[in-house]
């Protein structure tokens, strides 16, 4: 009779909310075998996103579940998975719930154990947090190659891939502390936001340094630091008015991820009889003639043999990634996301994912990597675009790869002509009518996946200056890859990513040069490939880029103004950024000979402009048809209406 009553009590406990009387002290703590993990790691009162806990433990599905610790927090529903070692627990957090430690109680056959779970108070204004905008310049860092602030974590016991700085595809020891140590350098450059390639655990046995094969979505890689150090990094960056953008990858996980040993559902990721990679045919998402088979392979095929393609059509997978993203924003105080390989994902679930994040944080910005040279296809992915099929990605920003390609190709050509030189850039901007929101375009001259700008432009510092000047004055918001401001070049052009992702000199103890300091830049006589460069070149480039981006910070005409540009086929390019109060004139001479600026040809906007100031020198500058632009140079002049 006693056993029957106990069983009835257990059933009641599982069915009840957290309002019943219960003393947590009378229940044993869960062992790691009983509850291996609960994710998200914590949650908050007052969130719009419903809470669904992933619970992992040996045969955990056999247990009834309740939550105790106070009024307002209760179990709404318990969902079983295919694996007996997982439960998905829907938790209701009422408006009157109080922050504090709650207990998830697991009961079976008269025995119970508990797991503590924190429900916290949100910081004031958290939901209204601002994000990156056209007023920002984003500095892209690959942490492993930036600076080694803590040599003690170069190799760690809980990770497989060990320190090997002599190997191009090995781990070099850069970490979060190294970034913290050099925040002043980033700020001095004129950056206002930092995008780091992924810092979450990537415990692949090799080539783990880039971080794009995540093996634990709630854990900073121990070779970079800890979760707490990451939060400290965000706080210290904020103290210097630097925003933090987190690079995230919902499309794929590393093959060494903990869930690969026992996935919650059989369709947790995409399974094929033999390895099937994505066909990378992004057009299948909007092509009315595309086959369903091609679309399936595009979004379900794996990115790489070591990168498992997640199935976002499974609602539990999608919910997992929604909560994970929101957790990091709230817990660490993030200012934005960059989403890797965006079109590889199933498009409707990812649109739902974006909408969920934006619903929680209406002012948040998310930029997606949409690597395509097709302008109509790129425009398709930006949220609220008027797509013929009615699709809305809810993705606020996209990376402008068409402009990236045109800028690099055009600046690398000595001659103009039809479709050559700077006409390439003119042609790209002539398609701006296709885009829904030009203010949410990330423009960039290079990143961690493309050849170094210095290599592309044949180690020509004058053309690097042109690229940087255009980044500082064109529509959208710019992103600069760490080192391009000093014309870093690949250490081995034949080694692809491993060769271009060079270490930042000065970030490691014993480095011959320290390019983080003004003195080191002034005295540097070598580039990152070891080739000799003129003394002072690094300092000259840094100072030029820093001056432009410091100037840009307060120029609303650049952030929000319109563009007017003029066609020429002599490898020059003239354009104006303007609003009711200000005009900024930019003239690029990418040719190998001096050019007279055709000021009168620009008369529809240039007429009457007086009192110009050269943005670089700060000196008065009156432009006319007699003004001569030197070969491979750029002139930037600002006017007041």
* 508-550 tens-digit pLDDT: 999 999 999 999 999 999 988 888 999 999 999 999 999 999 9
* Average pLDDT estimate for 48-58: 98
Q: Where does the pLDDT of residue 15 fall: very low under 50, low under 70, confident under 90, or very high at 90 and above? A: very low
Could you tell me if residue 267 is inside a domain? no
Whether 112 and 155 map to the same domain: the answer is: no
> Are 353 and 444 in a shared domain?
yes
**Span 564-589, mean pLDDT?**
98
- What mean pLDDT is predicted for residues 9-18? 36
Q: Identify the pLDDT of residue 21.
A: 47
Written as six digits, the tokens of 94 are 């009422």
Same domain, 72 and 91: yes
Q: Are residues 561 and 593 in the same domain?
A: yes
Q: Is it the case that residue 6 has pLDDT exceeding 70?
A: no
d(CA 354, CA 347): 10
- Confidence bin at 70 (pLDDT 50/70/90): confident
Quick one: average pLDDT of 608-613?
96
User: Looking at the 3D structure of the chain, how many domains does it have?
Assistant: 3
102 with 189, same domain?
no
In the chain, % of residues over pLDDT 70? 97
* Interaxial angle between packed helices 315-332 and 347-360, expressed in degrees from 0 to 180 and rounded to the nearest 10: 30
Q: Say what the pLDDT of residue 22 is.
A: 54
CATH number of the domain at 636, please: 2.60.40.1180
Q: Mention every residue, 6+ apart, whose C-beta is less than 8 A from residue 92.
A: 17, 50, 73, 74, 75, 76
Whether residues 147 and 44 fall in one domain: no
Residue 112 has φ and ψ, to the nearest 5°, of: -140, 155
Q: Which of 122, 149, 178 is the last residue of a domain?
A: 122
Looking at residues 259-280, what average pLDDT do you find?
96
Q: Can you read off the two tokens belonging to residue 216?
A: 């634990």
Contact between 40 and 324 (Cβ < 8 Å): yes
| Residue 444, φ and ψ in degrees, nearest 5 | -160, 145
Instruction: Flag whether 314 is in a domain.
Output: no
pLDDT tens sequence across 487-519:
999 999 889 999 999 999 999 999 999 999 999
Residue 544 lies in a domain: no
Which active-site residues does the annotation give? Answer: 340, 369
Q: Are strands 366-368 and 397-399 parallel, antiparallel or unpaired?
A: parallel
210 in the same domain as 64? no
- The share of the chain scoring above pLDDT 90, in percent, equals 94
Pick the more confident residue, 60 or 493: 60
pTM value is 0.95
- Assess whether 95 and 162 both reside in one domain: no
Of 536, 566, 583, the residue at which a domain comes to its end is 536
Task: Taking each helix axis as running N to C, give the angle between helix 227-239 and helix 315-332, from 0 to 180 degrees, rounded to the nearest 10.
Answer: 50
Domain membership flag for residue 284: no
Q: Name the pLDDT band for 572 (thresholds 50, 70, 90).
A: very high
- Show the domain range for 562: 556-640
| Domain identity same for 377 and 468 | yes
Task: Choose the final residue of a domain: 92, 122, 152.
Answer: 122
- Answer whether residue 277 is part of any domain: no
CATH number of the structural domain spanning residue 455:
3.20.20.80
- CA dihedral over 400, 402, 404, 407, signed as positive or negative: negative
Residue 160 pLDDT greater than 50, yes or no: yes
Let me know whether 409 and 467 are in one domain: yes
Q: Does residue 22 fall inside a structural domain?
A: yes
Q: Answer yes or no: is 317 within a domain.
A: no
**Who contacts 165 (Cβ-Cβ below 8 Å, separation ≥6)?**
171, 172, 173, 503, 508
Cβ(105)–Cβ(66) under 8 Å? yes
231 and 361 part of one domain: yes
CATH classification of the domain holding 68: 2.60.40.10
Tell me the pLDDT tens digit for each residue of 373-415.
Answer: 999 999 999 999 999 999 999 999 999 999 999 999 999 999 9
Cα separation, 579 vs 319, whole angstroms: 44
Please indicate, yes or no, if residue 568 is contained in any of the structural domains: yes
Q: Do β-strands 582-589 and 562-566 pair in parallel, antiparallel, or remain unpaired? A: unpaired
Q: Are residues 199 and 343 in the same domain?
A: yes
């Amino acid at each position: 009779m006693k056993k029957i009553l106990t069983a009835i009590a257990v059933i009641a406990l599982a069915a009840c909310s957290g309002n019943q009387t219960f003393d947590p002290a009378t229940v044993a703590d869960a062992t790691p075998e009983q509850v291996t993990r609960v994710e998200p790691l914590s949650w908050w009162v007052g969130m719009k996103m419903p809470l669904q806990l992933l619970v992992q433990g040996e045969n955990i599905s056999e247990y009834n579940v309740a939550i105790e610790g106070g009024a307002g927090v209760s179990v709404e529903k318990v969902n079983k998975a295919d694996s007996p070692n997982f439960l998905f627990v829907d938790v209701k957090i009422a408006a009157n719930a109080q922050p504090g430690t709650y207990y998830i109680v697991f009961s079976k056959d008269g025995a119970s154990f508990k797991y503590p779970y924190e429900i916290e108070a949100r910081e004031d204004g958290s939901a209204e947090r601002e994000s990156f905008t056209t007023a920002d310049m984003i500095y892209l860092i690959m942490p492993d190659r930036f600076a080694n602030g803590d040599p003690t974590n170069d190799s760690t016991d809980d990770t497989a891939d060990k320190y090997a700085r002599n190997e191009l595809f090995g781990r070099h020891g850069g970490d979060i502390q190294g970034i913290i140590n050099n925040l002043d350098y980033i700020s001095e450059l004129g950056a206002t936001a930092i995008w780091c390639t992924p810092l979450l655990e990537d415990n692949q046995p090799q080539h783990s340094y880039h971080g794009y094969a995540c093996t634990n979505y709630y854990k900073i890689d121990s070779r970079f630091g800890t979760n707490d150090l990451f939060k400290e990094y965000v706080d210290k960056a904020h103290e210097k008015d630097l925003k933090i953008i987190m690079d995230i990858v919902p499309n794929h996980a590393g093959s060494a991820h903990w869930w690969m040993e026992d996935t919650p559902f059989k369709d947790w990721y995409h399974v094929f009889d033999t390895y099937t990679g994505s066909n990378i045919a992004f057009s299948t998402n909007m092509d009315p003639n595309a086959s369903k088979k091609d679309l399936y392979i595009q979004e379900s095929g794996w990115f790489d043999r070591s990168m498992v393609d997640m199935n976002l059509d499974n609602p539990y997978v999608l919910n997992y990634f929604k909560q994970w993203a929101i957790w990091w924003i709230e817990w660490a105080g993030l200012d934005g996301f960059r989403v890797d390989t965006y079109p590889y994902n199933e498009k409707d679930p990812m649109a739902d994912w974006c909408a969920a994040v934006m619903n929680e944080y209406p002012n948040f910005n998310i930029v997606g990597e949409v690597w395509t040279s097709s302008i109509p296809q790129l425009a398709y992915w930006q949220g609220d675009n008027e797509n013929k099929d009615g699709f809305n990605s809810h993705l606020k920003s996209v990376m402008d790869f068409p402009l990236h390609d045109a800028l690099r190709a055009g600046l690398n050509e000595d001659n103009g002509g039809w479709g050559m030189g700077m006409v390439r850039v003119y042609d790209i901007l002539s398609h701006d009518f296709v885009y829904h929101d030009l203010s949410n375009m990330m423009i960039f001259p290079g990143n961690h996946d493309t050849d170094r700008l210095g290599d592309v432009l044949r180690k020509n510092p004058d053309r690097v200056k042109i690229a940087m000047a255009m980044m500082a004055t064109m529509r959208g918001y710019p992103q600069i890859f760490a080192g391009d401001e000093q014309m870093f070049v690949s250490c081995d052009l034949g080694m692809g990513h491993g060769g271009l992702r060079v270490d930042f000199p000065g970030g490691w103890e014993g480095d011959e040069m320290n390019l983080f300091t003004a003195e080191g830049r002034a005295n540097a006589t070598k580039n990152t490939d070891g080739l000799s460069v003129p003394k002072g070149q690094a300092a000259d480039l840094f100072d030029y880029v820093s001056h432009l981006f410091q100037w840009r910070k307060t120029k609303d005409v650049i952030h929000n103004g319109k563009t007017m540009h003029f066609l020429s086929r002599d490898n020059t390019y003239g354009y104006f950024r303007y609003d009711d109060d200000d005009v900024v004139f930019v003239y690029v001479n990418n040719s190998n000979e001096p050019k007279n600026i055709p000021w009168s040809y620009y008369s529809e906007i240039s007429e009457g402009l007086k009192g110009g100031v050269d943005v670089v020198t700060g000196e008065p500058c009156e432009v006319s048809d007699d003004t001569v632009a030197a070969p491979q140079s750029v002139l930037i002049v600002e006017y007041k209406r």
